[in-house]
Structure formats: structure tokens, C-alpha cells
Structure 1
């Protein structure tokens, strides 16, 4: 019997690979940032397309990261109701000042993230504020999934597997910003909620449904790391996670006179701490 003929791959040579790559020019991808961001087809209401600085759809089981200027607003949207954005925040030029979830819930006397909540560092300063929220299903208590737990539950938790763990993906995002595993503090998560019952147990409340969004305002220049993976308490036996939409655009930081600045005594103090720090550095 004659041997079957084999058709050489179009990308088997350097020239073929180059031609294939160039053929993709001008096309879009559901797994890569839109560049330039202003070409995103549907900017948020009231936002000029030219003010967009980041536009990306993050697939379920994937991650992303970005450095954002002070005053930038970041709108995260859950198009299908199955996204879960596990978020870490760091001061862009001082990564040792980072999101502290314990202080975020303790100082503000509120364990449930929502509009008006401030995301604090352990220095008593505001990293970001939640300026809009139509989900209400978030979590500042549980953290993200781990390699050990995902391996026990799904059979694997490695970044390249079909069920990557959030911490493993956040490690990759961290490395791309000069950070290591020791820099990964507990994260907050958006779009899959948790409540504490009367007996102190955690109760998973799930999603608010498709189309919910939450908008964060960067009160300092921030490095943002995001892993989009199932919540650790999601009871579904399968690894289920939908896409996450991330849109960032130029805006202004919270200032005296803004209702958010004076919403609570603790919040006002945190904003004053932030303003004093930035003023001393010649930033504000």
C-alpha cells in the first residue's frame, strides 16, 4: 500500500509562519486586548471612545493585568452571569503597599463590597473606590482558588490545564509586573457573592445574572491583577466560568466635596491619608 501523502504545514517555515501571522493583521480576537482601546465598539455611557485606555475580554480560566493612572475608572462586566473576577491591587511604583482585605472590611465596618466601598491598603490609604455597582454579589472574605483545591476538585489546577486555579494565574500576572508569589495577598472577587450566616458559616449566593457590572476608580496609580476563574465556594461540580469584560477610561480621582469623600468618618480619614501622602510626593 502506498504511503499516505502528508501536506506540509503552512507555518512549517519561517516565511510561512510570517505570512500566516501577517494575515491576522486587522482582525480581532476574543482573548486579546483591543488595540487601540478606542476602537472598542461600545464605550460605557457618557465615556468618549478616545478616553478608553484598556479594552479586553478575559476568557474564563484566564487572567489579565494592567497599570492604570490615578483617576482612571475600571468597569468590569459579567456578560453571561458566570464570570468571577479575582482582583489584586498594588501601588504602581511601591508594590509593597497593596490591597489589604482585612483592613478593607474592618476599617469600614462592612464585609460586603458594593457602591461606596473603599479598597484600602495596610497604610490606611485608599487604593480604589467602588463608584458604581449593579451586581451586589461580591466577596472580600474567601480569596481565590488554589492548586491543591482545584486538583482535588477538578483533577488539575495548573495554569495550562482545563481548570486553572486563581492563585496560579495571579502568579503569572504578578511575574509580568516584577512581583513574585510572596507578593500575592488575599484577593477580593466580584460577581459571585458570599454572605455570613447567623451561625458564622459562609453562604455562597452566586451571581446577580448576566450583564452586571462594577466600576472601580483608581485613587492612586495602580497595578491591577485579575484572574477570571470559578469562585472556590461555587457548588457546581464542573469548572464553569464565563468571559469577563474589562474597560478602563480616563476620569478623575475622588476629591473633597465628592459625596464619597465624606460618606463615613473612616472613609474621610482614609482619603485624607491618601491626599497627604500624594501631596508630600508632589503628585496631588
Structure 2
């Protein structure tokens, strides 16, 4: 075989230079062909395959756009305050503090410290879930025959664990995630009804209100009733911008949101951040 020797393996590896796959990161991100921001401001550009995961640390004020390219992506997202793993996304507080079980533009993703980790700035999908979390090894093994990270049907929890480990986080640091692009409704009797995706091209934009570690697994929603493991590519783009300021309508959209922003600004001011 050509790769049976070190020289052969090196030549084979170098021959791949410049080739592109459907799902891969673009490095540097500024080489992305159609940036959604001012030239030179793109800091993350990647397409995540179905059954794949990704992660990145983003600075306060960075905007992150996720796009369901083909209509069957499901982005399971976790946020941690960078360097403070104990401050992390709290899906329960995100729902109850804002009096709304459904994620929509204008809402905040909150930590259990009463502070904002990210603001949901735009949403063309409307099909999201803050109640169910992501899939597990046991659940996927029962459903698809396997749920290991390296299998053909990886579970979201397994992939988020890998993403966490690459950022110095441990399994104990993984709370329930929120998911975008696959909807769930609560019926009058309290049962959860899967509403599926909005279709190809749906997108959301999150604005980081602190320095955050972002973990994303692109896997089927745990309530997806289809017997097959169906997950299509997710586009991930992030660019330098500015955090939500008091003059922004999103800052004062609700009393609860305003308080969370005030808590965040007070905390950052004590650290010498504006």
C-alpha cells in the first residue's frame, strides 16, 4: 500500500491539501465565500455534518449564526462562561424566568446566576426546544442499535462530552442543552408533541453577552419519531460585533430580560469589563 511507509503516508496526506468536503471548517474563516458581516470580521466558518459536533470560545459581543442547510439539522447547544464552568446554560431558568417555554427572537439564554450568556437576536425557524435536552447513549442504542460517538448514530450527549473535554470541561459540567431547528409543543394535557423542522435555510443568530464556550452537537432530536437516524448539515458562522447595549430594544424588551442584562453588566464591571 502507498501508505505502508512513513514517506508514502506523508505523500498521501499532502496530496489531500486543498481538497474540500461538504462538511468541514474553513481556515481562516475570512476565506468564507459570502460572509454575512463586514469584511475581515468573520472568526468562525464551518459546516457540521449530520451526526457531527463542533466547539469554539467566542468573545463577548460575537454574533453566531446557525443555519439548517437542508431542513433536517438539529443543533443541540450548550454555553459555558469561559473560564467559569460552574456558570453555564440553565434551560430551566431560561424558560421560567422569561415566562415562556418556547425560544424566540428577543429572548435570552440564561445561566443560574441570573445573568445572560447569549441573546437570541434573529430567528427565521421558530422550531426549537428548551425542554427535552439531547439524545443519550442508552436511548440511541435502543432506537438505532448504537449511540457511541464513533458510531453511525451518535448520541448528542456523547458528542457534547467530546466537545467539552476539548475545552477542559468534564461530563459533570454538561447540563441539559437547548436545541434549534426541531420544534416541540406542550399540549393541554402536558404531553410533548414533536413538530419537526421549519425547512431548508432556516437560521438563528445568537449574540454572546459574555465570553462563552460554545458546544454544538448536530444530531436528531430525541422526540423525532422517524425510525431512521436522519441528520443533515448545519452551517456555523460567527463574526465580531458588539454586546447588547441599553439603547438596544432587546435590552429592555421585558423586565426580566433587563434585570438579567443589568446583572451581567454589573458582574463584568467588577472585573474591569464594559
TM range (shorter): over 0.9
Aligned to 1:128: 118
After superposition, the CA RMSD in angstroms is: 0.8
Matches within 5 A, 1:22-37: 22-37=14-29
CA contact 1:52–1:247 (8 Å) conserved in 2:
yes
Partners of 1:24 and 1:239 lie apart in 2 by 30
CA contact 1:40–1:49 (8 Å) conserved in 2:
no
Q: TM-score, normalising length from structure 1?
A: 0.95
Cα distance per residue 1:84-109 (max 9 Å; x no partner): 00000000121110000010001011
Aligned to 1:5: none
CA contact 2:135–2:155 (8 Å) conserved in 1:
yes
Correspondent of 2:48 among 55, 58, 62: 58
**Secondary structure of the corresponding residue to residue 256 of structure 2:** helix
Partners of 1:73 and 1:181 lie apart in 2 by 27
Unaligned residue ranges in structure 1 (runs of 5+): 1-8
Shift of 1:271: 0.2
Task: Pick closer, same or farther for the CA change 1:30–1:49 going to 2, 3 Å.
Answer: farther
Correspondent of 1:71 among 61, 76, 81: 61
**Secondary structure of the corresponding residue to residue 169 of structure 1:** helix
**Secondary structure of the corresponding residue to residue 38 of structure 1:** helix
Partners of 1:49 and 1:29 lie apart in 2 by 24
Shift of 1:31: 3.3
Aligned to 1:264: 254
Cα distance per residue 1:151-192 (max 9 Å; x no partner): 001000001111000001111001000111111100000000
**Secondary structure of the corresponding residue to residue 214 of structure 2:** strand
CA contact 1:39–1:49 (8 Å) conserved in 2:
no
Shift of 1:25: 2.1
Q: TM-score, normalising length from structure 2?
A: 0.98
Shift of 1:28: 2.5
Matches within 5 A, 1:44-55: 44=36, 47-55=37-45
Correspondent of 2:2 among 4, 10, 31: 10
Structure 1 runs, 4 residues or longer, greater than 6 Å off: none
CA contact 1:138–1:189 (8 Å) conserved in 2:
yes
CA contact 1:194–1:205 (8 Å) conserved in 2:
yes
Correspondent of 2:100 among 107, 110, 115: 110
Partners of 2:87 and 2:179 lie apart in 1 by 19
Cα distance per residue 1:218-274 (max 9 Å; x no partner): 000000000000000001110000000000001000011100000000000000000
CA contact 2:68–2:234 (8 Å) conserved in 1:
yes
Partners of 1:267 and 1:113 lie apart in 2 by 13
How many pairs align?
274
Aligned to 1:85: 75
Matched, 1:193 2:187: no
The structure with more radius of gyration = 1
